[in-house]
Structure 1
Amino acid sequence: MPWLLMFHIAALLCWCGTLLYLPGLLLGRAGGANTVTQPAHSANYLALPRLVYTRIATPAALTAIIAGTLVFYRYGIWDVWLMVKLMLVTLLVVLHLLTGLLIAKTERGKVQRVKAYAYLIALLLGATMTAITWLVLAKPLLEL
């Protein structure tokens, strides 16, 4: 079943890519100010972050999690490194939810310190994704 593992990796790449894109998209919307305001000339000014979040990131997250669960269930992997990886994936899910919360708050109007929140989320996302990647690639070394 290598197709299931490839499906998991493809969904994971889509999920992580969109999660890294969303804070940058919010930073671009913030412009020079430290807040996001909706301009008068555009009723759909903040529609793109919500679209990317709901139509790409969330379905990719669900697909990656379901396919990953099927992979370790199918191959019977229950090692310690997997439990650590699952804790990091849980952190990634929490950061996914925080990104959605930041998008929802920016849609409602003025959000103070949107740049600081977007930078913090991006930093935590990058660190979590790096830790997951390192753990998966170092797995053969940990088993020795």
Structure 2
Amino acid sequence: MIAALKFIHIAGLAGWCAALIALPLLMHAHGRAGNQRQYARFRLVTHIGYIGFATPAALITIIAGTGLIFAAQVFTPWLLVKLAFVAAMVLVHVWFGHMIQRSGEELRSRWQGAPIAGLLILLPVIATVLGLVLVKPDLERVRDLIPDQFLSPRGESS
């Protein structure tokens, strides 16, 4: 079961990260639509990319990751740091959704550089998540700063 959850989690994360990288590039490259037809295509591609791919991939990643935490009984400080960076990914994800939604309501000039700024914020966050997962650093020095409730399941103490 743990192997299946890991597979689903990693596959979802790969898809989610790919979508979070592709969406701002799409918004930047195709947001300067010259006519109504190009603009309608831009809106359709970004909307389907966000609603049909990025958001389901994010949900699959988060659900499988949550299941994996409890199935593998992983309650370590590095995981809490990783979850903080995953929360940053979620915030950027929501921001991209907001930009896509607003692109149908206002002129593009208001958020001209925002997709690339979001991408520049996102890339180090993704790299940090990947690094924390691969290295699993010993963060026992910060253990005293973390309440025990965050390091063990309910009803157990560390």
Please give the TM-score of this superposition, normalised by the length of structure 2.
Answer: 0.81
Distance 1:120 1:62 in 2: 24
Distance 1:92 1:113 in 2: 23
Matched residue type, 2:108 = V
Counterpart of 1:40?
36
Structure 2 unmatched runs, 5+: 141-158
Contact 2:6 2:64 survives alignment (8 Å): yes
SS in 2 for 1:88: helix
Matched residue type, 1:142 = D
Distance 2:130 2:75 in 1: 18
**Which of these residues, 72, 78, 81, is aligned with residue 81 of structure 1?**
78
SS in 1 for 2:103: helix
Counterpart of 1:6?
7
RMSD: 1.8
Contact 1:38 1:109 survives alignment (8 Å): no
Kindly tell me the number of residue pairs found equivalent between the two proteins. Answer: 138
Does the C-alpha gap of structure 1 residues 14 and 41 become closer, same or farther in structure 2, counting only changes over 3 Å? closer
Q: CA deviation at 1:83?
A: 0.4
Q: Deviations over 1:40-92 (max 9, x none)?
A: 34562321001100000001100100000000110110000000011110110
Greater gyration radius: 2
Counterpart of 2:130?
133
SS in 1 for 2:109: coil
Distance 1:77 1:112 in 2: 46
**Which of these residues, 51, 55, 59, is aligned with residue 54 of structure 1?**
51
Counterpart of 2:69?
72
Q: CA deviation at 1:94?
A: 0.4
Between the two proteins, what is the percent identity of the paired residues? 29
Contact 1:50 1:103 survives alignment (8 Å): yes
Any residues of structure 2 matched to 1:106-117 within 5 Å, and which?
Answer: 106-117=103-114
Contact 1:30 1:114 survives alignment (8 Å): no
Does the C-alpha gap of structure 1 residues 6 and 25 become closer, same or farther in structure 2, counting only changes over 3 Å? same
